[in-house]
Amino acid sequence: MADVTDEAFRQIIAKYSRHGELGGGPDVFFTEFVSADGLCSSGRNILLRDLAYSELEHPMVAQIFSSHPDHIFQAAELVRSLGFDGLDLNMGCPDKGIEKQGSGAAHIKDPQLAQEIIRVAQQGFAGPVSIKTRIGYNQETLDTWLPKLLETQPAAITIHARTRKEMSLVPARWEFIKKAVDMAQGSGTLIIGNGDVRDLDEAREKVQTTGADGIMLGRAIFGTPWLFDETRVISPSLYQRLEIMIEHTYLFEKLLSDIKDFSIMKKHFKAYVNGFDGAKGSSVNNLQDSPSASRNLSPFPQSKTAHRTYSTARNFFNQKDEILQKSEGESTGNYLRKSPKELRIELMATQKATEVETIVRKFLKMGQGN
């Protein structure tokens, strides 16, 4: 995901999801999408940084986009020379700027060009090429769009279960993943479902109900880099979350601060802190009684897995309660009276990792009653 799954975050995910160990890690990592036009321009050196990865992250797939077959070919050769395990072509991004270039979801409207792009990518990369797309442009058109993709025999097609028009505004329509799986039967192309999946349990459930060969998790990784550790039975404590956030921030600064703005980290701060947001003045029971509580807690308001939202929330509420109880009657520094929301606001004003660490350490120290 652009400005999310950069090298720093992927390394944090690899570490805290125990990638490469038994029961750990995703099956495959993807880069942020990278412009093939840019890779063929004088700005190439900066974009090459988006294709940097560590040995910890294999299997590693590079995602590129363009509407120019010659640029896709050159970029595919480049991606191969960088040792990537796979090449993914973005044919689903709804961003207007990307579509103006004839790329992303615009490919759905021009299947012939899409096929040409896939074929030159296959020639240039000479390894597994996959596609990331949607179920249609203005409406679901898998009957016409999917066969065009399958004709090119890609290794896999990841389908975000919404149309371009739907952006991410409606719940993902998983019935169409099942339809795509049926259509791709016997083609040799894997179908990966995507949209609104919160965790590995839900991913397994989707595989069961649709027959998909795999599931891609996107936003669920925000603030939860341990997401792919199957052996973990309880969520990291508040302290651990914030420690991971500090480590992530230092790594971002070390690897990327010369080319990326520190503001990128602020999305992550929100997500790391969100786990215990809303705790002030609420009890767990109140939340369980309130059907609207999941809306405050979940980044996926349309998710049907409210019970999971509640149980995750309960962990964090218990931790928060514990902090408040421990600190009661003890030192009453300013941070004792700070809510997670206030912590988040302070984090939003930071410009570097040391500031983040100072703020978090004060928050944690006062919480422990030290």
Q: Is 197 helix (H, G, I), strand (E, B) or coil?
A: coil
Q: Give the Cα separation of 135 and 178 in Å (integer).
A: 11
User: Looking at beta carbons only, is 57 or 196 nearer to ligand FMN?
Assistant: 196
Q: Binding segment for ligand FMN among 111-119, 214-222, 312-320, 336-344 (CB under 6 A)?
A: 214-222
Q: Binding segment for ligand FMN among 194-202, 238-246, 254-262, 323-331 (CB under 6 A)?
A: 194-202
Q: Is residue 170 involved in binding ligand FMN (CB under 6 A)?
A: no
Q: Give the Cα separation of 257 and 236 in Å (integer).
A: 27
Residue with tokens 């795999």: 214
Q: Is 330 helix (H, G, I), strand (E, B) or coil?
A: coil
Residues 308-337 that bind ligand FMN (CB under 6 A): none
Instruction: State how far the alpha carbon of 35 is from the alpha carbons of 2, 74, 100, 250, in Å.
Output: 11, 12, 13, 27
Backbone angles phi, psi at 358, to 5 degrees: -60, -45
Q: Give the Cα separation of 29 and 7 in Å (integer).
A: 10
Q: Give the Cα separation of 163 and 138 in Å (integer).
A: 6
The distance of closest approach from Cβ of residue 195 to ligand FMN in the complex, given in angstroms and rounded to an integer, is 5
Round to the nearest angstrom and report the end-to-end CA distance of the chain: 39
Among 11, 17, 35, 90, binds ligand FMN (CB under 6 A): 90
User: Looking at beta carbons only, is 252 or 317 nearer to ligand FMN?
Assistant: 252
Q: Is residue 199 involved in binding ligand FMN (CB under 6 A)?
A: no
Q: Give the Cα separation of 170 and 162 in Å (integer).
A: 8
Q: Give the Cα separation of 276 and 338 in Å (integer).
A: 13
Q: Is residue 200 involved in binding ligand FMN (CB under 6 A)?
A: no
Q: Give the Cα separation of 325 and 299 in Å (integer).
A: 28
Give the DSSP per-residue string, 24-84: -S-S-EEEEEEEHHHHTSTTHHHHHHHT---GGG-SEEEEEE-S-HHHHHHHHHHHHHTT-
Binding mask 220-259 for ligand FMN (x = CB under 6 A): x---------------------------------------
The distance of closest approach from Cβ of residue 159 to ligand FMN in the complex, given in angstroms and rounded to an integer, is 9
Residues 24-83 that bind ligand FMN (CB under 6 A): 32-33, 63
- For 128, other C-beta atoms within 10 Å of its C-beta total 17
User: Looking at beta carbons only, is 141 or 282 nearer to ligand FMN?
Assistant: 141
Q: Which of 40, 47, 76, 93 is catalytic?
A: 93
User: Looking at beta carbons only, is 159 or 364 nearer to ligand FMN?
Assistant: 159
The distance of closest approach from Cβ of residue 148 to ligand FMN in the complex, given in angstroms and rounded to an integer, is 19
User: Looking at beta carbons only, is 171 or 369 nearer to ligand FMN?
Assistant: 171
User: Looking at beta carbons only, is 31 or 152 nearer to ligand FMN?
Assistant: 31
**Which one-letter amino acid corresponds to residue 216?**
M
40 is catalytic: no
The distance of closest approach from Cβ of residue 343 to ligand FMN in the complex, given in angstroms and rounded to an integer, is 23
User: Looking at beta carbons only, is 11 or 90 nearer to ligand FMN?
Assistant: 90
Q: Binding segment for ligand FMN among 200-208, 213-221, 320-328, 345-353 (CB under 6 A)?
A: 213-221
Residues 129-168 that bind ligand FMN (CB under 6 A): 132, 160
Q: Is residue 95 involved in binding ligand FMN (CB under 6 A)?
A: no
Tokens describing residue 193? 């479902």
Positions marked catalytic: 93
Residues near ligand FMN (CB under 6 A): 1-2, 4, 32-33, 63, 90, 92, 132, 160, 194-197, 217-220
